[in-house]
Amino acid sequence: MRAQNGELCTAIRMLVVKDSMVLIHLAATSVLQEACVMFGKVIISPAVHREVVEKGIERSRPDAYVVKKIEDSKHIGVVTVVHRKLMTELAKYGLKGGELESVALYFQEKADLIASNDDKVRGLQLILNLNLISSPEIVLVMARGKVISKEKARESLLQLKRIGWFSPSVIDLIVEEVRKID
């Protein structure tokens, strides 16, 4: 992979489980493919695939077509959760749907990271000992690693701010961190 300035970038060799909102947000900010390639191996659960791709295509959502294209290029894999007992245990924390399957998949596959913007998942980070990353943090990591330019990172973060999912002050802090990158 090449950075915006033409320099070769090394992918971070990690197994990352992404949930629905991370896929949607990174697709909306036009950095999903770079984020998937950067981590090395990205997987999603069937429930996330249904939520984002199948239902998204039914509703003609642009992000659904982006995710489908990246799946087709093998930068996102769909992996089934086979440990039903684990899902039953995690459901006791109030998780359901794609978030439930994402957290179960994180444990089942012994993933390095779980990428989630979900408040419930984020609230369980310490309880479940999740190595968690959000969409704005992914954009920051990409900018620091020169996977995307500082300008592209700033644009992506401002798009996330317009989407309104994150606190504007959090986005502003991360934009400032991007500004400080050499």
Q: What pLDDT score was predicted for residue 11? A: 59
The DSSP-derived string for 111-127 is -SEEE---HHHHHTHHH
Average pLDDT over residues 30-49: 95
What dotted CATH number matches 14-135?
3.40.50.1010
* Sequence spans of domains, the chain: 14-135
3-state secondary structure (DSSP) of residue 78: strand
The shares of helix, strand and coil residues in the chain, as percent rounded to the nearest 5, are 60, 10, 30
pLDDT in tens, 91-135: 999 999 999 999 999 999 999 999 999 999 999 999 999 999 999
pLDDT in tens, 40-60: 899 999 999 999 999 999 999
Residues 27 and 22: their CA atoms lie apart, in Å, by 8
